[in-house]
Structure 1
Amino acid sequence: MTRLALHSRLIPGTEEAYELEHARVWPELITVMNRAGIRDWSIWRSGRDLFHLVECDDYEAAVAQLANDPVDQRWQAHMSQFVESFAKNPDGTHPLNHVWTMSEQTD
């Protein structure tokens, strides 16, 4: 199981609407995410900044599978009215660089 973090940013003025959209995400989207190996996805918001924690089998494989899924394509198109961008690392990837996890420290 892989756990990774992502950072995205909302379009100004869409914060409340974005949260309303996530009050109940489409059940069919959750089904296709589970099928792609995504076990859990949490989002926290600070102003316009969103921080995502994703738990999955293989993130790159999940993203590749979802890219061709019509349910995810509809969701991404729908959410594009709220999300300005996903932050990228210098190597062009989306996951944030992991720095530290308390439970992984041995002493």
Structure 2
Amino acid sequence: MTERAVYVQRLDPDERAAYVDAHDDVPEGVTDAMERGGVTDFELYVREDLAVCILECEDLDAYLDAVDGDEAVAEWEAYTGQFKRSGVDPDADPDEGIPFMERVWSFSP
């Protein structure tokens, strides 16, 4: 059983292409931290100035513990932050750094 978390980030429309291009080469330190945090799947979708992240992991609290304070993750978020208007705040309290969304409806046949 995994947990799923979703969050949205607003991109600077003039920096959208740079944001997308940055994800052609996500640093290994970032993916290592995600693996340590128990990530089983991570997807990033972009449309116009919206970036939607879907994260599945074994335990969301363990994931947050693994990425909070991780140097590679902080550097990555600072780097990609230049392309955003809002989103992940690497300097925020871990409970507030990722703008997770509230699930209000689901359907499973």
TM-score by length of 1: 0.80
Residue matched to 1:9 = 10
Percent identity, please. 25
Gaps of at least 5 residues in structure 1 are none
Deviation at 1:78, TM superposition (A): 1.0
* CA distance in 2: counterparts of 1:51 and 1:102, whole angstroms: 19
* Aligned with residue 105 of structure 2, among 92, 95, 100: 100
Q: Which digits, 9 at most, give the CA deviation of each residue in 1:11-32, with x for residues without a partner?
A: 2301001110112311221111
Contact 2:44 2:53 in 1 (8 A): yes
User: Per the alignment, in what secondary structure is the counterpart of residue 42 of structure 2?
Assistant: strand
Count how many residue pairs are aligned between Structure 1 and Structure 2: 100
Structure 2, unaligned runs of 5 or more: 89-95
- What is the TM-score when the length of structure 2 is the normalising length? 0.79
Distance in 1 between residues matched to 2:14 and 2:62, nearest whole Å: 33
RMSD, matched Cα: 2.0
> Equivalent residue of 2:67, what SS?
helix
Tell me if 1:43 matches 2:44.
Answer: yes
Point out the structure with max Rg over C-alpha.
1
How far apart are residue 4 of structure 1 and its match?
1.7
Q: Which residue of 2 aligns with 1:70?
A: 71
Aligned to 2:93: none
Q: 4+ runs of 1 displaced by more than 3 Å?
A: none
